[in-house]
């Protein structure tokens, strides 16, 4: 799939420093509420970008993943210091880190502009990669929306995968009004992000290096929110032949993600839709170098 062929050479070489005050619309897909991993349980490789060896190492070493509340977040930023862009990210739960109290962590993220890739990696240690986001009205369900995310596969010129790594049907619950909401009413969410690797050609793909751990508080958000319903749009996995006499039948439930470019999570059927959100992305606290 072809897209914007401008390449990364048009990036502003100087990232916009945090804090950022932004306006957005967002959807939270809840993947777990109180999960406690079994002994030795770790996360599949699809939770991590392929080049992020430090992120993978610190997130999969023994007893690093502590579970808890996990979510996928889809955000449409309408006003930021670098303009509008879209983001898809996953924070599967809490992790241990070298600095004490366990914290949440974004392990994979896509954004729709190369400038957002660079700024997210530089300012906050978010493992952002480039993707194309396609939002289309549903032809079958009134007021519903379909969203598909296509990872970039080449950068000179920019090309995108022909298959989405994430595809969801977002269905509003029309009879419920949006109410004023603030994250100050919820348990504080702190992220602790490990160092990030550089790609061989960061001037093209935006994958700049960040040698420090970063801690940031993401609790400064307020706006109007309401529940929404969601379901996957990717076809179910095909049945794989099994040597057993009674193979487990494949699930007929459509999937949110492909399990390659984005982890194959199961989300609750009801999530939270921020109709509008004002948020401050703070200056992260750099903690240590590699």
pTM of the model: 0.91
- Cα–chain center distance at 212: 20
Are the C-beta atoms of residues 208 and 198 closer than 8 Å to each other?
yes
φ and ψ at 259, to 5 degrees?
Answer: 75, 10
Q: Which residue has the higher pLDDT, 262 or 8?
A: 262
Question: Structural domain boundaries of the chain?
Answer: 18-237+247-289
C-alpha to C-alpha distance for 130 and 149, rounded to whole angstroms: 10
Neighbouring C-beta atoms of residue 240, cutoff 10 Å: 8
CATH of 18-237+247-289, one of 3.30.30, 1.10.3470, 2.40.400, 2.60.220: 2.40.400
Angle at 111 between CA 106 and CA 224, to 5 degrees: 75
* 149-188: pLDDT as tens digits: 999 999 989 999 999 999 999 999 988 899 998 877 666 6
d(CA 283, CA 290): 20
Q: What is the pLDDT of residues 74-117, one digit of tens each?
A: 999 999 999 999 999 999 999 998 887 889 999 999 999 999 99
Predicted local distance difference test score (pLDDT) of residue 41: 78
Q: Read off the pLDDT of residues 49-75 as tens digits, 9 standing for 90 and up.
A: 999 999 999 999 988 898 888 999 999
* Whole-number pLDDT of residue 182: 86
Q: What are phi and psi of 45, to 5 degrees?
A: -65, -20
d(Cα 202, Cα 13) in Å, to the nearest integer? 11
């Amino acid at each position: 799939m072809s897209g914007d062929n401008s390449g990364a050479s048009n990036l502003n070489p100087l990232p916009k420093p945090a804090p950022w005050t932004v306006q957005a619309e967002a959807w939270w897909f809840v993947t777990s509420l109180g999960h406690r991993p079994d002994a030795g349980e770790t996360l599949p490789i699809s939770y991590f970008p392929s080049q992020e060896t430090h992120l993978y190492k610190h997130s999969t070493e023994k007893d690093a993943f502590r579970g808890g509340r996990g979510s996928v977040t889809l955000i449409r930023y309408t006003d930021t210091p670098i303009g509008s862009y879209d983001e898809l990210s996953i924070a599967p739960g809490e992790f241990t880190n070298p600095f004490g109290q366990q914290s949440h962590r974004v392990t994979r993220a896509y954004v729709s502009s190369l400038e957002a890739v660079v700024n997210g990696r530089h300012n906050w240690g978010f493992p952002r990669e480039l993707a194309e986001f396609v939002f289309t009205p549903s032809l079958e369900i009134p007021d519903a929306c379909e969203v598909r995310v296509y990872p970039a596969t080449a950068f000179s010129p920019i090309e995108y995968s022909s298959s989405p790594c994430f595809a969801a049907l977002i269905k509003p619950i029309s009879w419920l009004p949006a109410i004023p909401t603030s994250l100050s009413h919820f348990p504080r969410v702190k992220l602790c992000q490990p160092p990030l690797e550089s790609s061989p050609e960061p001037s093209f793909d935006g994958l700049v290096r960040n040698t420090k751990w970063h801690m940031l508080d993401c609790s400064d958000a307020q706006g109007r929110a309401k529940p929404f319903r969601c379901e996957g749009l990717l076809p179910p996995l095909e049945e794989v032949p099994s040597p057993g006499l009674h193979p487990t039948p494949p699930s007929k439930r459509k999937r949110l993600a492909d399990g390659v470019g984005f982890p194959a999570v199961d989300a609750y059927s009801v999530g939270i839709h921020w109709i509008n959100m004002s948020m401050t992305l703070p200056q992260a606290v750099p903690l240590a170098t590699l």
